[in-house]
Amino acid sequence: MWRISQKATLAFVIKLQRPALLISLNIAEGAAEKARFYRITRRSATECVSIIYICRCLKFVEKNLLVNERELLLRVAAILTRMIKVQVKMEDSNS
């Protein structure tokens, strides 16, 4: 594993915090425009997955770390995809 500075570690933590927080906030905020907010939330989840992947590729963390977190985020993205499809179908039927 590479040794990285605390400053670099902090930069990755900050980069990961933003989309991680947006996952919850966008779902809560999306009452009126659900499909739109679900899409934004799905992008935040996939951004988190990408950050975790980069950290593992650059050996900032050991390969076996963050596996469960990555899998959970992928499941969240899949669930959001289904929610988007349902919401779009509902919106189309109401039009």
Tens-digit pLDDT profile for residues 9-60? 778 888 888 888 888 887 777 766 788 888 999 999 999 999 888 888 887 7
pLDDT in tens, 48-57: 999 888 888 8
**Does the structure show a pLDDT above 90 at 78?**
yes
**Domain 6-94 adopts which CATH fold?**
de novo design (two linked rop proteins) (1.20.1440)
Highest mean pLDDT: which range of 34-38, 80-84, 89-93: 80-84
**How far, CA to CA in Å, does 17 sit from each of 32, 37, 51, 89?**
25, 18, 10, 32
Q: Write down the pTM of the prediction.
A: 0.73
Q: Cβ contacts of residue 73 below 8 Å, gap of 6+?
A: 45, 46, 48, 49, 52
CB 16 within 8 A of CB 45: no
The span from the CA of 75 to the CA of 88, in Å, is 20
